[in-house]
Amino acid sequence: ELRMKVIAIDGPSASGKGTVAAQVAAILNRDYLDSGALYRLTALYASQQNIDWHNEHEIATLAYKLPVVFSTDSILLNGMDVTAAIRTETIGMGASAIAALPAVRTALLQRQRDFLTPRGLVADGRDMASVVFPQAELKIFLTASAPIRAQRRALQLGLATDGADYQRILNEIEKRDQADRSRTVAPLKPANDAIILDTSLLSIKESVEKVLDWYRKI
Ligand code: CDP
Ligand code: CDP
């Protein structure tokens, strides 16, 4: 069977897939694709142009011609640094809304595949294993309990891991997970041939080691 030089890491919000995928890519000297950033960029671009998040045709058109430049530590949209602007939860919800539109997913498909070069790729998202790189040599579904993911996100944002901010983040995470799980196209769920890695009790380093262990076995 033909295998692509791709490690696919899918999973829910704040499970640590971005952090783990970027570290695995650096260790293996591969490129890294943050596919969620493409959905976030599309949502931001649409909102900048006052296009409604339900307007499938217009958003797909934007997604095809997204004027984006990825550099080592920043993302430029139309020449503007949007590295921080795409990380808000409003844009996360917008990304989730437009990601449910089939024409938008189709528009971003080739752009994601173009990230694969002879160097090889580590790609994180929701459908890396099921849709974008079904031939990936290794497929991981990275997860953690919702309260732990909410704590991680709170820490990442410099907020307390209990109280009102924590509760709000937990609600947002559960709401977006529910939307991503229940959509018809590319729903959030492990691919049939994915290894499930629950990182609730693992550090980043331990999670990275697990992925590298599986990689060495293939
Ligand atoms: O970092 P976090 O997991 O919170 O979000 P993300 O990976 O940046 O993705 C933002 C949203 O884009 C998700 O809630 C999904 O609805 C959508 N997405 C997707 O549908 N498919 C992907 N491959 C990546 C993201
Ligand atoms: O990409 P995704 O939304 O799945 O998550 P992330 O942005 O990579 O990770 C969310 C936060 O959890 C980051 O601050 C990571 O450093 C942290 N994290 C952690 O504390 N323990 C892990 N095992 C994995 C991630």
ipTM: 0.97
The DSSP letter of residue 87 is: G
Q: Same structural domain for residues 111 and 123?
A: no
Above pLDDT 90, what percent of the chain?
A: 95
CATH of the domain at 197: 3.40.50.300
The DSSP letter of residue 86 is: G
Return the ligand 2 atom nearest residue 207 CA: 23
Span 98-133, pLDDT tens digits: 999 999 999 999 999 999 999 999 999 999 999 999
Q: Is the pLDDT of residue 63 over 70?
A: yes
Q: Same structural domain for residues 187 and 211?
A: yes
Label residue 19 by pLDDT band (50, 70, 90): very high
**Does the CB atom of residue 94 touch ligand 1 within 6 A?**
no
Q: Same structural domain for residues 10 and 61?
A: no
**pLDDT for position 72:** 81
Q: Per this entry, what is the length of the chain?
A: 218
Q: Same structural domain for residues 114 and 128?
A: no
Q: Same structural domain for residues 63 and 125?
A: no
State which residues form the domain around 195.
1-30+119-218
Pocket test for ligand 2, best of 83, 128, 152 (most atoms within 8 A of CB): 152
Per-chain mean pLDDT for the chain? 96
The number of folded domains in the chain is 2
**pLDDT for position 1:** 61
Residue 76, beta-bridge partner list: 69, 81
Distance 106 CA to ligand 1 centre (A): 15
pTM: 0.96
Q: Same structural domain for residues 114 and 203?
A: no
**pLDDT for position 71:** 86
Span 146-197, pLDDT tens digits: 999 999 999 999 999 999 999 999 999 999 999 999 999 999 999 999 999 9
Q: Same structural domain for residues 16 and 88?
A: no
Of residues 171, 56, 58, 35, the one with CA closest to residue 113: 35
